[in-house]
Structure 1
Amino acid sequence: MSKTQTTAIDRLGNEQFLLKAQESTRRLWLFSLGAYSLATRTGAEAFQALVREGKAFRPKARRQIKETSAELMSSATDSIDRGEKLVRNRLIEPLNFLVLASKRDVELLSQRLAQLTAEVRKLGGAKDRPATRKPAAKAAAKAVAASTVSESADSEPTMAAAS
């Protein structure tokens, strides 16, 4: 031990020193317990205060969420509408300008053509069978074409034909 400590012990005496040390230790222990108690109480109070704040804030948070989601839905709807308009303006309208028939249009026209064909046959007294070429007419047409070609080959060329 150092000289100053020995002197302090001598002055107070051993018993008094032990009493002072015990008192300091007890006070330090009580200080620690008080700090722990205060922290626990303050922590519990702070927790309860935060719960109350959360309950009070819940309606405002829900309202903000609804407003934000409504804004996002509106923005998304606007974007989709703009996209549809672009597709319509850049793809569909030019195709309509070209007057391209859709599959449905072709089907409707085919049905209408079948109806009109049936009406024409009914009015003309024709039988309900498709029209076919007669073999004799086909042979006669070939004969006429062949004779025209052979006559032009047999004739002498004229000056008008040569030029």
Structure 2
Amino acid sequence: MSKTLTALVDRVGNEQLLTKPLESARKFWLFGLGAYSLACKSGARTLETLVQQGKAFEPKARQQIAEKSAELLSSASGKFQRGEELVKERLIRPLDFLVVASKRDVELLTMRVIQLSAEVRSLTGGKAKPIAKPLSKPSSKPAARVAAKPEAKPAVADASPMMASAA
């Protein structure tokens, strides 16, 4: 080969060597942009498809949720009723058997005793004397109420089974 031909081949070869990396880099850049564009388009299409499928599935999902919540509520209410039965069976029934008075029962009985004492005093003309001294001093509220309305009778007998037997 001649020197000029070799110089020409060298010059063309060098230019090609320089342009090939630039072209390759540009092709990679365009490839990346194309992939991004395709992902955006298919992503939007996929999103629309998922939204449509979600709309179609929504009634079925609501029905399943309603069924499951009804099942859970019935299960919970059954367990709650069983708990109530256990409390009644193991706590309240033994207390009823023992006839344990509640604080309200004692207060109602105290008011009734004060009322009956006032009625006895009024019937005997104030001559009846107490046989024994009371253990505790009754509060001033029931006494004031009795003094204000000695003939009024509260519905104490309906308050508790123990009160019915005491009256």
TM-score (normalised: structure 2): 0.53
Q: CA shift at 1:83, angstroms? A: 0.8
How big is each residue's C-alpha offset from its partner over 1:1-33, in whole Å with a ceiling of 9 and x where there is no partner? xxxxxxxxx9xxx79xx6xx7xx9698887766
**Counterpart contact for 1:118–1:128, Cα < 8 Å:** no
Change (3 A) 1:88 1:27: same
The structure whose RCO (Cα within 8 Å, separation 6+) is larger is 2
How big is each residue's C-alpha offset from its partner over 1:109-149, in whole Å with a ceiling of 9 and x where there is no partner? 222222222233333x241774379xxxxxxxxxxxxxxxx
Larger radius of gyration: 1
In the alignment, is residue 82 of structure 1 matched against residue 50 of structure 2?
Answer: no
Task: Tell me the matched-pair count.
Answer: 119
Change (3 A) 1:118 1:30: closer
- Number of the residue aligned with 1:58: 58
Between the aligned partners of 2:131 and 2:101, the Cα distance in structure 1 is 30
Give the CA RMSD over aligned residues.
3.5
Between the aligned partners of 1:132 and 1:41, the Cα distance in structure 2 is 102
Structure 2 counterpart SS, 1:127: coil
**Counterpart contact for 1:121–1:128, Cα < 8 Å:** yes
Between the aligned partners of 1:96 and 1:132, the Cα distance in structure 2 is 32
Structure 1: which 5+ runs fail to align?
1-9, 134-163
Higher normalized helix content (fraction of residues): 1
Change (3 A) 1:77 1:49: same
Q: Equivalent pairs: percent with the same residue?
A: 55
- Number of the residue aligned with 1:71: 71
Q: CA shift at 1:69, angstroms? A: 1.7
Between the aligned partners of 1:29 and 1:106, the Cα distance in structure 2 is 93
Between the aligned partners of 1:33 and 1:101, the Cα distance in structure 2 is 87
**Counterpart contact for 2:121–2:128, Cα < 8 Å:** no
- Number of the residue aligned with 2:126: 127
Q: Which amino acid aligns with 1:64?
A: Q
Structure 1 counterpart SS, 2:130: coil
- Number of the residue aligned with 1:98: 98
Q: Which amino acid aligns with 1:59?
A: P
Q: Which amino acid aligns with 2:126?
A: K
Q: CA shift at 1:91, angstroms? A: 0.5
How big is each residue's C-alpha offset from its partner over 1:76-104, in whole Å with a ceiling of 9 and x where there is no partner? 12111111110111001101100111111
Q: CA shift at 1:62, angstroms? A: 2.1
TM-score (normalised: structure 1): 0.54
Between the aligned partners of 2:127 and 2:81, the Cα distance in structure 1 is 52
**Counterpart contact for 1:121–1:127, Cα < 8 Å:** yes
Structure 2: which 5+ runs fail to align?
1-8, 133-167
Query: Which is further off, 52-61 or 39-48?
Result: 39-48
Between the aligned partners of 1:132 and 1:92, the Cα distance in structure 2 is 37
